[in-house]
Amino acid sequence: MGLLLKDGLVVDPAQDLEAVCDLLIAGGRISRLAPAGTIPAEGHQVQDCRGLVICPGFIDMHVHLREPGQEYKETIATGGRAAAAGGFTAVACMPNTQPVNDTAAVTRFILEQADRAKQVRVYPVAAVSQGSQGKILAEYGELKAAGAVALSDDGRPVANAQLMRRALEYAHTFGLLVISHAEDLDLAGNGVMHEGLVSVQMGLRGIPAAAETVAVFRDCELARLTGARLHIAHVSTAGAVEVIRWAKVRGAPVTAETAPHYFSLTDEAVRGFNTNAKMNPPLRPAADVAAIKQGLGDGTLDCIATDHAPHSVLEKEVEFDQAANGIIGLETAVGLSLKLVQEGVLTLRQMVASLSTHPARILGVGGGTLQEGQPADITVLDPNRPWTVDVEQFQSKSRNSPFHGWQLPGRAVMTLVAGEIRYRHNT
């Protein structure tokens, strides 16, 4: 007996498909995908999907699950539950744990914990440099063999351009992607928010947009020099979008992501010293937000990834200067992305490509399509089910979201991983 998703709007950019279809899941795989009414229902459990959108499972290629080391903020199990509840069937977790994921042993531990949690697929991203210290390359071959899908010193950007060059070349040797948190640390200084009108008024030290833009330019040029694949994480500035567009035109093997907060909030959100508006890169002014939306719309920015960064009140209910960077995003990303669709910034198909097709292709992890025979990783959306964000309802262990109280137009209502229902929204 299979599970038949009936009469849903199937949106699968990989197959250039956007049509009302029936989709049959059996043995953990997509066994048939056919026009509505053409798959006999006999012998199957039927799920009426009229008015819903059936998408290849969403993949969040930038999360922090905090395990090992900071389990009081999040664990692979709670982060996995948050992912499923937010409509994600897979996440790629960054290596800035304690210890740093710079060895095969830590990578294997993460995969074992993910197996035990039985929530969503977890793809470990390992460190570029040992301990993310920016000095010696990590063991990329070993890490890849253990299951790492990419490399990044996220949060501790590679300051040395020569090391970045060698990292790209060495990663290319093993067919691994390098994900760059692009930030010039000297320019960023001890800034705690975007350098602009708001920072000047609030007396908070600023991080200029140039701190991101110059680093993006450096890394794009190194990708062109080496031919190695590079992915720019959490793009937040108009300048960075422009540089990535420029590099892509010149054939650089570069892709990029942005996060929902960079297209949903401006640096005005910091007013009142709101520590849930503190992140790195920082929230930018309206002109940058407009450029991010444009970059998503014209494909310069390939993906939407959350940079889900759980922190407890210990790190957030403190002075702004001392508060930790980052916000949780797994359970609001789909709603905020649907808002972009509602505003006409993205088509539904572009949104699905940003959340599924592109991250799957960039990480090289499979999924990202609903072709027959593929594992049944599926996200079912109700684009017209308005809801109010309430952090107390979150599956994540942490509550650090600036979107509490926001009204969002729709949500994921069902998340399936290998045909298993990992989340179902009850009305």
Partner 1 sequence: MQTVEAQGLRFRRKDLLGLADLSRAEIQAILNTAVSFQEIATRSIKKVPTLRGKTVITLFYEPSTRTRTSFEIAAKRLSADTVNLTVAASSAVKGETLIDTAKNLEAMAPDIIIIRHACSGAPHLLASRLHSSVVNAGDGLHEHPTQGLLDLLTVWEAKGRLDGLKIAIIGDIAHSRVARSNIHGFRTMGSRVVVAGPQTMLPPYLAELGMEVTYSLAEAVADADVIMMLRLQLERQGQMFFSTLREYSRFFGLNTEHLKLAKPDALVMHPGPLNRGVEIAPEVADGLQSAILRQVTNGVAVRMAVLYLLSGGEASGTAA
State the Cα angle at 112 between 109 and 118, rounded to 5°.
Answer: 140
| Chosen from Zn ion, partner 1, none, partner binding at 197 (C-beta under 5 to 8 Å by type) | partner 1
- Taking the least distance from each CB to Zn ion, the nearer of 154 and 315 is 154
- Sequence-distant (6+) residues with CB within 8 A of 376 are 25, 28, 29, 30, 416, 418, 419
- Write down the catalytic residue from 12, 307, 377, 382: 307
- Taking the least distance from each CB to partner 1, the nearer of 320 and 387 is 320
Q: Total binding residues for Zn ion by CB under 5 A? A: 2
- Sequence-distant (6+) residues with CB within 8 A of 163 are 128, 129, 134, 135, 137
| Min separation Cβ 236 and partner 1, Å | 18
96 to 135: interface string for Zn ion, x by CB under 5 A:
----------------------------------------
What is the Cα–Cα distance from 283 to 288, expressed in whole angstroms?
A: 9
Q: Which amino acid is at 160?
A: N
Helix (H, G, I), strand (E, B) or coil at 149: coil
What dihedral angle (degrees, nearest 10) is formed by the CA atoms of 384, 342, 255, 30?
30
- Taking the least distance from each CB to partner 1, the nearer of 119 and 276 is 276
Print burial letters for 265-294: b (CB count within 10 Å at least 16), e (below 16): bbbebbeeeebbbbbbbbbbbeebbebbbb
**Number of separate helices (H) and strands (E) present in the chain:** 14, 20
Do 60 and 308 contact (CB within 8 A), yes or no?
yes
| Chosen from Zn ion, partner 1, none, partner binding at 94 (C-beta under 5 to 8 Å by type) | none
Task: Choose the stretch contacting Zn ion; rule: CB under 5 A; options: 101-109, 152-160, 362-370, 380-388.
Answer: 152-160
- Taking the least distance from each CB to partner 1, the nearer of 127 and 198 is 198
Asked if 181 is part of the footprint of Zn ion (rule: CB under 5 A), the reply reads yes
| Min separation Cβ 200 and partner 1, Å | 4
The residue ranges that bind partner 1 (CB under 8 A) are: 195-197, 199-206, 272-273, 317-322
Whether 307 is catalytic: yes
CA max distance for the chain:
67
| Min separation Cβ 209 and partner 1, Å | 11
| Chosen from partner 1, Zn ion, none, partner binding at 273 (C-beta under 5 to 8 Å by type) | partner 1
| Min separation Cβ 240 and partner 1, Å | 19
What is the Cα–Cα distance from 169 to 289, expressed in whole angstroms?
A: 33
- Go through the chain and tell me how many residues it has: 427
Asked if 183 is part of the footprint of Zn ion (rule: CB under 5 A), the reply reads no
Asked if 154 is part of the footprint of Zn ion (rule: CB under 5 A), the reply reads yes
| Min separation Cβ 62 and Zn ion, Å | 7
| Min separation Cβ 18 and partner 1, Å | 45
Asked if 74 is part of the footprint of Zn ion (rule: CB under 5 A), the reply reads no
- Count CB atoms within 10 A of the CB of residue 18: 16
> What does the binding site for Zn ion look like in residue numbers (CB under 5 A)?
154, 181
The residues annotated with a catalytic role in the active site are 307
